[in-house]
Amino acid sequence: MTARTCLRTHGGGLGARACLWPALVLTALLALAPAAPRVARAAGADECLECHRMQDDKRLSAPTQHFTDDIHAQRGLTCASCHGGDPTKQDIEAMDPDKGFIGKPKRSEIAALCAKCHADAAFMKRYNPQPYIFSVDEWRTSVHCKKISEGDTKVATCIDCHGVHGIRPHTDPSSPVYHTNVPATCAHCHNPEYMKGRTVPTNQYTLYKTSVHGIALLQKGDLSAPACNNCHGNHGAVPPNTRDISVVCGNCHGREGELFESSPVKATLELEGKRGCVTCHSNHGVQRPSDAMVGSQEPGVCCSCHKPGSAGEQASGRIVTRFWALKTRLGTADSLLTRAERLGMPTEKARETLKQANDQLVNVRVVLHSFDPKQIDAVLAAGSGDADRAVDAGQRALRDWRTRRVGLAWSLVAVGAVILLLLLIIREIERPDGDARPTMEGTRH
């Protein structure tokens, strides 16, 4: 009987007080007694997961859904490794600030939190003998870090790219930072809706998908094709500026980058506020280069800088004329040699010469990035010389074929005449006796 029941039964008299004492004593004993043992859990169980998994609030249970697939969980780390606290305790005891519990970190603190492990080479080597070591200094150079430091909460930090509570290694095709997934991951922020009210361009992903790089990576699965991070960087992501754009492109297009870096045009473009490679090739929407770009009129790109009648326009015009003359000469040589081959004439040496001429054409396309008329003219001259020799070889082969055909025709005529003469002689020899001409003796008889 409880104290309240006793009072209700006996009222407030002596009987009630006599009945109240045992109840009070029982209540005190229960308060002093040890708490009932909790449900036993397996030794070493992560109480954070067990508790959050049973929560009806999806906000609390969501972190447990994919954590078993997380690279950290697979390496033996627990919730407390990032959030602090004591994962061996149940309920509120696990979230004791005295045991380092920090709860949900602020966005401005996430990079520093990740860096506690990922910037520690000794710690990372426990899990990978050749780990990637995160550089806090590199991160601080990024436009993302700078914006976060300014209090901007809509800027990407570690979890926005790598995920959270289900992080996969970058080599896992399901990871948001797997090479083919990087463009779409960047587009989660770099899109018109998310960037509304900002001056940052938002058409990068749309352009990239139609570019020669995007088609190679996203449609053809060519993992050597660049994604966003190959040009902008990973943790130190920055927009390539005027001075380093040719270096960025030169990471893949080495010779073109070196030639442009040493060209006089590089400094001129910088003074005009133009950005190196992208002036001719664009940036996110880079299309496959074609010879049509070498021209003083659309779709040529020379006219985008050189005004009609200027010294630059005249110099580029001479180069353009010689370039297309070389291409025409190569086409002529190939046509002649193809005709000779169909007629059965040997063309192996001539084909080798033509190959050298075509190699020079490829070389011209590269040397154009030097913007040096002397270098370009030298390669054009070498290519034109090889092309002329290939044309001469093709014409010579056709002349030889015609000569052989005429000689064969006369030979056939001569052979035919001999055969005809022999037939006549044979016919004369085989003529019957009755058909022989009368002799003198027969005439006298």
Kindly tell me if the per-residue pLDDT of 379 is higher than 70: yes
Residue range 3-11: average pLDDT? 42
Per-residue pLDDT tens digits for 104-130: 899 999 999 999 999 999 999 999 999
Rounded distance between C-alpha atoms, residue 306 and residue 310, angstroms: 7
The distance from CA 333 to its chain's CA centroid, rounded to whole angstroms, is 37
> What pLDDT score does 122 carry?
94
The amino acid that residue 265 corresponds to is V
Rounded distance between C-alpha atoms, residue 316 and residue 297, angstroms: 11
Kindly tell me if the per-residue pLDDT of 242 is higher than 80: no
> What pLDDT score does 309 carry?
84
> What pLDDT score does 247 carry?
87
Kindly tell me if the per-residue pLDDT of 1 is higher than 50: no
How long, in residues, is the chain? 445
- Better pLDDT: 297 or 283: 283
Kindly tell me if the per-residue pLDDT of 7 is higher than 70: no
> What pLDDT score does 116 carry?
94
> What pLDDT score does 44 carry?
53
Question: In sequence order, what are the residues at sequence separation of 6 or more whose Cβ sits closer than 8 angstroms to the Cβ of residue 180?
Answer: 173, 217, 218, 221, 223, 227
Kindly tell me if the per-residue pLDDT of 204 is higher than 70: yes
> What pLDDT score does 37 carry?
41
Longest alpha-carbon distance in the chain: 198
Lowest mean pLDDT among 136-150, 160-174, 292-306: 292-306
> What pLDDT score does 38 carry?
42
Kindly tell me if the per-residue pLDDT of 140 is higher than 80: yes
Is residue 296 within 8 Å of residue 306, measured between CB atoms? yes
Tokens 């030639």 -> residue: 259
> What pLDDT score does 240 carry?
79
Question: In sequence order, what are the residues at sequence separation of 6 or more whose Cβ sits closer than 8 angstroms to the Cβ of residue 38?
Answer: 90
Q: Is the pTM of this model over 0.85?
A: no
> What pLDDT score does 46 carry?
80
CA atoms within 13 A of residue 384's CA, in its CB half-sphere:
13
- Tokens for 445, please give them: 């008889």
Rounded distance between C-alpha atoms, residue 242 and residue 264, angstroms: 15
Per-residue pLDDT tens digits for 380-406: 999 999 999 999 999 999 999 888 877
> What pLDDT score does 304 carry?
81
Torsional sign, CA 12, 17, 23, 29: positive
- Residue 86: how many CB atoms within 10 A of its CB? 17
Q: Hey, is 228 helix, strand or coil?
A: helix
Kindly tell me if the per-residue pLDDT of 281 is higher than 70: yes
- Better pLDDT: 445 or 239: 239
- Better pLDDT: 431 or 237: 237
Kindly tell me if the per-residue pLDDT of 69 is higher than 80: yes
The distance from CA 226 to its chain's CA centroid, rounded to whole angstroms, is 3
Kindly tell me if the per-residue pLDDT of 351 is higher than 90: yes
Domain boundaries, the chain: 311-397
Residue range 53-64: average pLDDT? 89
Please spell the DSSP secondary structure of 400-443, one letter per residue. HHHHHHHHHHHHHHHHHHHHHHHHHHHHHHT--GGGSPP-HHHH
Per-residue pLDDT tens digits for 401-444: 888 877 778 888 888 888 888 888 888 887 776 555 555 454 44
Q: Hey, is 26 helix, strand or coil?
A: helix
Reported confidence tier of residue 45, pLDDT bands at 50, 70, 90: low
> What pLDDT score does 437 carry?
52
Using CA atoms, how far residue 144 sits from 84, 108, 153, 204, 351, in Å, is: 26, 11, 10, 17, 56
Q: What is the mean pLDDT of the chain?
A: 85
Rounded distance between C-alpha atoms, residue 229 and residue 244, angstroms: 15
For 311-397, CATH number? 1.20.140
Decide: residue 271, CB within 10 A, 0-12 exposed, 13-18 middle, 19+ buried: exposed
